[in-house]
Structure 1
């Protein structure tokens, strides 16, 4: 058994992010590289060589007797048995936590098998337990996808809330000439963004503050969740950011039909703009949805707004309608050099729901910008969307130079 004592500290609720297996370990490393504060980190793996690459101060090698540090060989049963062998050590590592994130890539051996055991340990101690996991690419094969879906089903029974990110959807936003390591790094970044979106809400104090109990209300025993993050600069930045957060193409969920929502604004916020954006969300989810509102005012970036939406208790299907919103578009170029290029901002579009024939969906409210007086405002610029929002037109596979949205978290890859 390999364990290193953690000496990191945080303020408020004690939050631990547990990265399980190779993908989970990579998520933890990226969060540490990005300087995410207010959380503690644990890397868990059956592969001792992989743990040597981890940057956190607590690493746990599970299944030392079973695997001898050589990994699970893609077998979830080995991953599960390894976690059971090390159950006592895992329990000790997370017992003081108030919230535990379990993050991993599903389909392999360690993450698929061990993550449900770790989540079960946390849940049995009444720790708020949230899983942020990814499904494999289709080209990885039916066996791996079947293992992933079985693992997701098992994990769902042992967590309060789960966010599932299909890696296959990355193909819709990646340049066709992107190299494989670059795409894998993007997949890790999406998982990292899902975790960070929640931890930032808890750890950042605001004028209208959201605390840990608010998060518990929305996320305890709620099943599948949607998390969306949008960021925009310019006129109507609050509305643009909230529309981006609603409609991420990297998820198979949306907020329609949710029972509970956290709606968190941060940035240079106008009072009316924030209220209009909040009402827009309420029109989509309906009067029966519990919406918890938070705000952090920060004028360090003028006319810029960031929005995080967490929706739980979702009853609709992955194919239910989402809301159209503006997006930053650029022409695809060779390689990934185009990621740092500028783009053309587009004006907000009316809602354009799309659903399978016969599906029951609530009518989507159309966006109506406030009447302007005086000199007409310049077109909004600088829209960014870490979770990868694209408009319905962009949801089609890019072909022969069609426009493609490049999310902010992808554009940072060239700088890392």
Structure 2
């Protein structure tokens, strides 16, 4: 879209009365569904913020967990005793409850957010089933999932990534939040507020969409525009930012896109972009035509073939601030490491497209393994931290001593000579050989020698 078109459309806004945003009395078409413990927490957090024009459902295999939810509508799948941390169990009980899940959408829902923590049982196994059902009902389906902290280990991480991959088969757009980023971006926050930052991603996305499609704009953006942008979009960012002072539009865009929990997402290859700009006509600092250039600069960074939809709304509560809501879709779905070259990412391509059609017939989720270790994938998702983790794990060999070794000078000398942090596999073998020699010497001297290893290495 050319600069002149932006400016001409802004000129046209002079014919509108400068009135605040008006909320319509349209039916509630957005539904947020939390699946499993992590997903339930996120939806509870969203519900407590009081976002209007959204309905809420929590689904779990654990009936006790749902009794603690503040969301009015809940659904227990299975016998209510949990999934035992087994995604396959959760998948099966979700499929058995398919009629009940379909009934959740017997209302005006047109768009559904499905959120889950990946790596456990219920979220990993059941969320893809719920996403499939929503897609078969031709609902715009957005997945928001978290993957574990690094300390939770490669096995759980690979299970989580397998669940996210399965989820991506059935959603129109997927947002993946790496919990490890919490420790990087918010190291000084207490743990409760730290987790709330991850939950805010769902809250911000739903609030942004709700405002877009339920408020009257002056260059209007409606649900069909949202649907066009996100339908079969692959990966996506849905965010809102605020800006003030000099370059306030650029500042608002930066605020919307910085999304620290999604910061490795490179949207430079986006194929679809929707943004809505809000400002106050009553502000002391009037919105100037020259500020449109900041919008143009942003759009041109995305490449020449991006499809742009945009809107303009007045909001007198902003004062001298401006607000922008950004929906971008169709960029690289992988979480690249910080060291990746930007040019490589721009030219890598967008991966396989699913196509724009609905699933014509019920399709059962593929029963792929979610636990097989893939070192390259592990490093790709967690960057340098994954490399450091593996090197540390390779070095670390913890030792368990028998009681009679606590005051054994030979054993103590070995432990002091080879501290835990420096024990690689070769050193461990040397220590074991030394222990074997000591044990043999004990036997040769006529001293009793047990059949148990003198030193037991773990790790």
TM over 0.5: yes
Alignment correspondent of 2:197: 186
Render the CA deviation track for 1:310-347: whole Å, top value 9, x for unaligned: 111114764499xxxxxxxxxxxxxxxxxxxxxxxxxx
Matches within 5 A, 1:6-405: 11-12=26-27, 14-64=29-79, 69-96=80-107, 97-176=109-188, 178-251=189-262, 252-268=264-280, 270-272=287-289, 274-315=291-332, 318-319=335-336, 355-356=340-341, 359=344, 361=346
Render the CA deviation track for 1:252-274: whole Å, top value 9, x for unaligned: 31320111001122233714255
Alignment correspondent of 1:337: none
State TM-score, norm by structure 1: 0.71
Alignment correspondent of 1:374: none
Aligned residues: 319
CA distance in 1 between partners of 2:114 and 2:328 (Å) = 18
CA distance in 2 between partners of 1:127 and 1:75 (Å) = 28
Q: Secondary structure at the match of 2:341?
A: coil
Q: Name the one with the larger helix percent.
A: 2
Q: Secondary structure at the match of 1:107?
A: coil
Asked if the contact 1:236/1:273 (under 8 Å) is kept, the reply is no
Structure with greater Cα Rg = 2
Q: Alpha-carbon deviation of 1:232?
A: 2.0
Q: Secondary structure at the match of 1:286?
A: coil
> Could you say what the CA RMSD is over the residues aligned between the two structures, in angstroms?
2.5
Gaps of 5+ in 2: 1-23, 282-286, 348-383, 386-459
> In structure 2, do the counterparts of structure 1 residues 359 and 49 end up closer, same or farther at CA, with 3 Å as the change threshold?
same
CA distance in 1 between partners of 2:115 and 2:329 (Å) = 18
CA distance in 2 between partners of 1:43 and 1:360 (Å) = 37
Q: Alpha-carbon deviation of 1:355?
A: 4.5
Asked if the contact 2:267/2:332 (under 8 Å) is kept, the reply is no
Q: Alpha-carbon deviation of 1:80?
A: 0.9
Q: Secondary structure at the match of 2:316?
A: coil
Asked if the contact 1:19/1:43 (under 8 Å) is kept, the reply is yes
Q: Secondary structure at the match of 2:195?
A: helix
Asked if the contact 1:222/1:312 (under 8 Å) is kept, the reply is yes
CA distance in 1 between partners of 2:213 and 2:49 (Å) = 18
Asked if the contact 1:320/1:361 (under 8 Å) is kept, the reply is no
> In structure 2, do the counterparts of structure 1 residues 287 and 359 end up closer, same or farther at CA, with 3 Å as the change threshold?
closer
Alignment correspondent of 2:4: none
Render the CA deviation track for 1:91-144: whole Å, top value 9, x for unaligned: 111143211110111111111111000010111111111111111111112121
Q: Secondary structure at the match of 2:126?
A: helix
Alignment correspondent of 1:328: none
CA distance in 1 between partners of 2:266 and 2:123 (Å) = 26
CA distance in 2 between partners of 1:222 and 1:37 (Å) = 26
Alignment correspondent of 2:435: none
Asked if the contact 1:48/1:61 (under 8 Å) is kept, the reply is yes
CA distance in 2 between partners of 1:114 and 1:273 (Å) = 50
CA distance in 1 between partners of 2:25 and 2:303 (Å) = 36
